[in-house]
Structure 1
Amino acid sequence: MKRNYLSYISILMLTAFLLSCGSKADNQETKEGAVPEEKAEDDHGHENEVELSSIQYKAAEIQLGKIEERELGQTIKANGVLDVPPQNLVSISVPFGGFLRSTDLLQGSRVKKGQLIATIQNPEYIQFQQDYLESKSQLEFLEAEYKRQEELASANINSKKTLQKAKAEYLSMQARVQGLKAKLQLININTASVENGNFKSTVSVHSPINGYVTAVNVNIGSFINPTDVLFRIVDTEHLHAELTIYERDMPKLKIGQRVRVYLSNDKKERLAKVHLIGREVSNERTITVHCHLDDEDISLIPGTFLTGIVETGATKVTALPDEAIVQNGTAKVIFIANGSRKEGNETVQLFKAVEVTTGVAEGGFTEVILPSEIDKTTTIVTKGAYDLLAKMNSGEEEGHGH
């Protein structure tokens, strides 16, 4: 029994020894077949690099250049509208009510200063003329009476009270006549014609300015109250841009600064100058800036929305063409030439994406704040950056697929 027990123990020890050797061999094979960590890390190091064959390089029309120093303007971008001065926007009404007898105006009609634009009819106009004539006749009588009383007073024939009464009646009637005359003038009735017995039941309405009709609020036969607006006429020869600027940008504003104006319905660039700067901050923490257009254009329409770019100054900065900077996710990158290598008879061009920070932009160039690895001698891709970005991102997707 003892001998059998020793034999059993020996067999178990031999089995354990053999199993241990097999495990070490497996581990050694695993280590030899594994991809080294340095290699994996090295693969990730090429994520921002792009390789182009000579055919691809030509197809992408790659152009190379250097960092430039340019004077780019500091700007303020703001929204606004086209507006007109108060004296160039007129609301037409009549001081005394009446019925609209005739008008030819439509929205968009061009009118000239002094042009007949409507006629208004009201029997009360006849009453005004009648009252004027009657009062004028009484004025002549009272004037004569006052002069007679003055002569009597100088001879101490009448009392002072009688003279004062005659004078008061004369001055009161004189004021009434002048008031009625002013009323008739308001409705464009010639008092000289009335004095000759020519009464009118209609009055003419004339345009006070040159311009275009922007609103027609009446129709033939409608009754017009003194508070009603018949028409609105705007003179578009002196349109200006009203910009809304945030309070934080106020210190940068100065009279005379150049402004580039872009209408919402037109891509044409128009130039203007800052003419007035508002002195009151609104509840939205903004001010109004009044800008005069360099070139007047009567075809423009007041109220049109616009964008204005106010040039507040120019500084010398490092800059690249806009085409050289591309958006990669949330980052802005440029591509630098990173040498080349030979693959048989083929030359492969190498490029590397570098993240940059951008600043002001003007005239097709954008300010770039460069990392320390790039200086003015570095060769930059100035055209074809979008193609390089597309190839780089497609390469990353393929890599993830594996």
Structure 2
Amino acid sequence: MKKVTIFLLSLAFFACGKQETKTDTTAENKEISNQIVINKQQFENEKMELGSFSEHEFISYVTANGMIDVPPENRAIVNTFVGGYVTKIPLLIGDYVKKGQFVASLTNTDFVEIQQNYLEIAAQLNYLKNEFERQKTLFDEKISSEKNYLKAESDYKSNLAIYNGLRKKLQMMQINPSEIEKGILTTSINLYAPIDGYVTEVWVSNGSFVSSASKMMEIVNTKHIHLELNVFEKDILNVRKDQKILFKIPESSENYFDAAVHLVGTTVTNDRTVKVHGHIEDESQHFMTGMFVEAKINYDSKKEIALPNSAIISEENQSYILVVKEQKNEETTFEKVLISIGKKDENYSQIINFDDFKDKKILLKGGFML
């Protein structure tokens, strides 16, 4: 019995010693797993780079979508004041026109009637003017009655008003009244470009009938283009005049271009956005009206202590950096240390607890394979 007791005590002692040895080994492995040893050859092959913290400017911005557009005065619709049939329209979409250049012609028998009416009124007006002046003289000399004088005055002035109205109408139709008074009538009228620019739309063709409410073509002057952005209501209080805008045309390029806020709208639309007008700095780029843009409006910037994103290792929702612990015999020992990250952008991350690593060398590049 005594021998059995001694055997059991020995077995229990052996088991406790084995468990303690296992715990010590685990702790040792845990400590070693936070350290990485790199020799000179590995360092060079992976193009590793050591460095330290630096100041980096973190920019806060509002995102917005929109389009490239032109001011209202740089966009014009060609139409007519009187209806007619299109007899000539020589332009195509993309053609450039100068202000006053011929763009279309129309014909209609109504044009002839307007000119005839003008000629008749012009002929009557000369007679009525003379009669009015005669009656005025007779009335002043008390030879004729006031009734005759007033009737002559009324006839003359009413016809004068019709004459002036027809004359203005002819001028709006691009018909010269002086030519009509010479007996030269026309069955067609010409239309001319109201502004310089490019033809962007043509809605008619030869033989089409157009009324005064019809649109014939659109001309857009692209010498001054701008951004029309839609900023969400929740972000609009951060937007101010002269703030910098970075924008790109995602369908054609990933390059960003510069602009600045010029006007901020004062009303919220049904989709809970506010219009923001931006001026493009380099208008020589081949931008086209209607292009979709993605923009970032910078409203704040602040310098913070940061590291390149290439220096940060992410594991299980935590972030680490590799700090040099020892350099000896062409070997570098790194220690993996937990860090706290603040602001981030495409290239850098703010390190909040940077004071814990003052005067330490940090692996900035080449650690992604470790």
Indicate whether the TM-score tops 0.5. Answer: yes
SS of residue matched to 2:213: coil
What one-letter code is carried by the residue in structure 1 that aligns with 2:266? Answer: R
- Structure 1: how far apart are the matches of 2:151 and 2:8? 140
What one-letter code is carried by the residue in structure 1 that aligns with 2:277? Answer: H
Structure 1 segment 116-195 matched on structure 2, within 5 A: 116-195=102-181
Residue 370 (str. 1) matches residue 352 (str. 2): yes
Residue 352 (str. 1) matches residue 336 (str. 2): yes
In terms of Rg, which structure is larger? 1
- Normalising by the residue count of structure 2, what TM-score does the alignment of the two structures yield? 0.87
SS of residue matched to 1:132: helix
The superposition leaves residues 134-165 of structure 1 with CA deviations (integer Å, 9 ceiling, x where unpaired) of: 11111212212211221221122333233222
2:282 to 295, 320, 326: 295
The superposition leaves residues 260-307 of structure 1 with CA deviations (integer Å, 9 ceiling, x where unpaired) of: 232222233322222112122334443222111122227311111222
SS of residue matched to 1:280: coil
Q: Are the aligned partners of 1:149 and 1:162 in contact in 2 as well (CA < 8 Å)?
A: yes
> Could you say which residue in structure 2 is the equivalent of 1:309?
296
Structure 1 segment 3-402 matched on structure 2, within 5 A: 30-34=15-19, 36-37=22-23, 39-40=25-26, 43=29, 50-264=36-250, 265-297=252-284, 299-325=286-312, 333-340=319-326, 347=331, 349-352=333-336, 354-359=338-343, 361=345, 366-371=348-353, 374-387=356-369, 391=370
Comparing 69-78 and 150-159, the one that deviates more: 69-78
CA RMSD of aligned residues (A): 3.0
Would you say how many aligned residue pairs link Structure 1 and Structure 2? Answer: 368
Q: Are the aligned partners of 1:217 and 1:230 in contact in 2 as well (CA < 8 Å)?
A: yes
> Could you say which residue in structure 2 is the equivalent of 1:8?
none
The superposition leaves residues 238-262 of structure 1 with CA deviations (integer Å, 9 ceiling, x where unpaired) of: 0011222233444433322222232
Q: Shift in Å at residue 322 of structure 1?
A: 4.4
Structure 2 residues not aligned, in runs of 5+? none
Q: Are the aligned partners of 1:74 and 1:360 in contact in 2 as well (CA < 8 Å)?
A: no
- Structure 2: how far apart are the matches of 1:375 and 1:191? 90
What one-letter code is carried by the residue in structure 1 that aligns with 2:46? Answer: A
- Structure 1: how far apart are the matches of 2:255 and 2:12? 74
Query: Kindly tell me: are residues 304 and 322 of structure 1, through their superposed partners in 2, closer, same or farther at Cα, counting changes over 3 Å?
Result: farther
Q: Shift in Å at residue 176 of structure 1?
A: 1.0
Q: Shift in Å at residue 235 of structure 1?
A: 0.7
Comparing 190-199 and 321-330, the one that deviates more: 321-330
The superposition leaves residues 144-200 of structure 1 with CA deviations (integer Å, 9 ceiling, x where unpaired) of: 221122122112233323322222221111111111112111221111111111111
What one-letter code is carried by the residue in structure 1 that aligns with 2:246? Answer: R
The superposition leaves residues 105-146 of structure 1 with CA deviations (integer Å, 9 ceiling, x where unpaired) of: 222222222221111121211111111111111121221221
SS of residue matched to 1:56: helix
- Structure 2: how far apart are the matches of 1:114 and 1:46? 84
Structure 1 residues not aligned, in runs of 5+? 1-13, 392-402
- Normalising by the residue count of structure 1, what TM-score does the alignment of the two structures yield? 0.80
- Structure 2: how far apart are the matches of 1:62 and 1:298? 40
